[in-house]
Amino acid sequence: SAVISQKPSRDICQRGTSLTIQCQVDSQVTMMFWYRQQPGQSLTLIATANQGSEATYESGFVIDKFPISRPNLTFSTLTVSNMSPEDSSIYLCSVPGQGAVEQFFGPGTRLTVL
């Protein structure tokens, strides 16, 4: 499986600011996924990031709030904009495995908004 790293691993931010989370993969992948995991909850897909095209957002998530970049096949960023305490969550990136259905996850970024 791919080796995935995320930066930062955690951060504490002030309301109204923005944070950009980086996801790096050790191999080229066509798709990268960004998830949100609110405290004590399951994983919710935010968007799918494809290289060379705009990300595809799930219902309830918009580009203005969660802009995504995908400059190449091994890297993506997710920005959480104009943060509020409700944005406090773990943000996870993932990539598909060889079977295309399985996904492998990074270690996550734990965000706390004060």
Partner 1 sequence: GQQLNQSPQSMFIQEGEDVSMNCTSSSIFNTWLWYKQDPGEGPVLLIALYKAGELTSNGRLTAQFGITRKDSFLNISASIPSDVGIYFCAGHFGNEKLTFGTGTRLTIIP
Given the rule CB under 8 A, which residues bind partner 1? 1, 4, 41-45, 48, 58-59, 92, 94, 97, 99, 101-108, 110
Between CA 90 and CA 10 the distance in angstroms is: 9
| Cβ neighbours of 89 (radius 10 Å) | 21
Residue linked to tokens 């790096």: 24
Closest distance of CB 107 from partner 1, Å: 5
Closest distance of CB 96 from partner 1, Å: 9
Closest distance of CB 57 from partner 1, Å: 12
Closest distance of CB 45 from partner 1, Å: 5
Q: Which is nearer to partner 1, 15 or 102 (CB)?
A: 102
Q: Which of 17, 56, 18, 21 is nearest to 37 (CA)?
A: 21
Between CA 23 and CA 12 the distance in angstroms is: 19
Between CA 66 and CA 111 the distance in angstroms is: 14
**Residue 53 token pair:** 């095209």
Q: Which is nearer to partner 1, 75 or 104 (CB)?
A: 104
